[in-house]
């Protein structure tokens, strides 16, 4: 199984329009502080299946960089613009894409993206489903006020957890599903000297990973408030755009 962090930025991305902070300047110069909005690609080993977790507004560029013209499925974690709006970039590229989400999330997103005529699969929390030989389970997380899920991926005795946007107040049932994963990709929108009630900061995400005994952690959904990437990396396990992790 291979995981690619197609985009590791928050809703506004880095550089932020009009900002001249150190991270935004590094991003403008082409450094790794440059962050497209959040999407993750999951690829299976055997049949080269490809599944997208969320469809960033920057999806067109992400698909071009990875040379991807079709996927086997799309999973939406929640109905925030930066997590679904790029799905329109499948227009005239791939018809009738299989899409997976909780019912309320699906209703909201397809009200906007109806013209693409995707194949709808309404998923129930904690009930596993299969795409391209990989097992996926949606777990509830806490990103008020909107319904949001994390994603647990299992393949060949490997387990990956993608928290999606969340704070630390996660249900015991979800935490148990997340425990002892081989890789956790965790929301960490800000460094520890900031806090936001609907997201984790870097310290909180690292504490969660430690408590859950995960083997490897990468932080994502990162804002421009972090120091430039190469400096921040000395303190926090930040992911970067197009980072590939093979399990």
Q: Nearest 5°: phi and psi at 42?
A: -115, 125
How many CB atoms neighbour CB 238 within 10 A?
23
- What's the mean pLDDT in 96-112? 97
Q: Residue 92 region, left (φ>0) first, then alpha (ψ -120 to 50), else beta? A: left
Q: How confident is the model at residue 47 (pLDDT cuts 50, 70, 90)?
A: low
pLDDT in tens, 224-240: 999 999 999 999 999 99
pLDDT of residue 110: 96
pTM: predicted TM-score of the whole model, two decimal places: 0.96
Which DSSP letter does residue 8 get?
-
- What's the mean pLDDT in 29-58? 94
Residues in the chain: 247
**Averaged pLDDT score across all residues of the chain:** 96
Helix (H), strand (E) at residue 171: none
pLDDT of residue 228: 98
Q: What percent of the chain has pLDDT over 90?
A: 93
Q: What percent of the chain has pLDDT over 70?
A: 99
- What's the mean pLDDT in 15-24? 97
pLDDT at 188 over 80: yes
Which of 131, 152, 154 has its CA nearest to residue 141? 152
pLDDT at 45 over 90: no
Domains present along the chain, CATH in parentheses = 2-246 (3.60.15.10)
Task: Dig out the tokens for 18 from the structure.
Answer: 């009009």
Q: What is the dihedral of CA 177, 179, 185, 190, to 10 degrees?
A: 110
- What's the mean pLDDT in 96-124? 95
pLDDT at 156 over 90: no
- What's the mean pLDDT in 151-172? 96
Instruction: Identify which has the larger pLDDT, 193 or 172.
Output: 172
Q: How confident is the model at residue 193 (pLDDT cuts 50, 70, 90)?
A: confident
pLDDT of residue 206: 98
pLDDT of residue 46: 67
| Region of poorest pLDDT, from 63-72, 189-198, 224-233 | 189-198
Q: How confident is the model at residue 5 (pLDDT cuts 50, 70, 90)?
A: very high
């Amino acid at each position: 199984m291979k995981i690619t962090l197609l985009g590791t930025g928050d809703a506004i991305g880095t550089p932020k329009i009009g900002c001249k902070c150190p991270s935004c300047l590094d991003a403008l110069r082409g450094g790794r502080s440059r962050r497209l909005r959040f999407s993750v690609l999951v690829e299976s080993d055997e049949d080269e299946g490809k599944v997208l977790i969320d469809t960033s507004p920057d999806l067109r560029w992400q698909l071009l960089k990875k040379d991807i013209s079709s996927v086997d499925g799309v999973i939406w974690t929640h109905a925030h613009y930066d997590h679904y709006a790029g799905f329109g970039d499948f227009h005239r590229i791939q018809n009738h894409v299989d899409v997976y989400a909780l019912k309320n999330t699906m209703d909201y997103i397809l009200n906007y993206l109806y013209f693409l005529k995707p194949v709808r699969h309404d998923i129930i929390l904690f009930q596993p489903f299969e795409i391209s030989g990989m097992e996926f389970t949606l777990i509830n997380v806490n990103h008020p006020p909107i319904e949001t899920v994390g994603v647990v991926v299992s393949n060949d005795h490997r387990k990956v957890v993608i928290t999606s946007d969340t704070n630390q107040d996660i249900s015991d049932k979800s935490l148990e599903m997340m425990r002892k994963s081989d890789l956790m990709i965790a929301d960490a929108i800000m460094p520890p000297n900031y806090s936001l009630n609907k997201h984790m900061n870097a310290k909180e995400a690292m504490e969660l990973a430690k408590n859950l005994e995960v083997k490897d952690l990468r932080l994502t959904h990162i804002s421009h408030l972090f120091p430039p990437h190469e400096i921040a990396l000395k303190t926090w396990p930040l992911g970067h755009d197009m980072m590939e992790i093979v399990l």
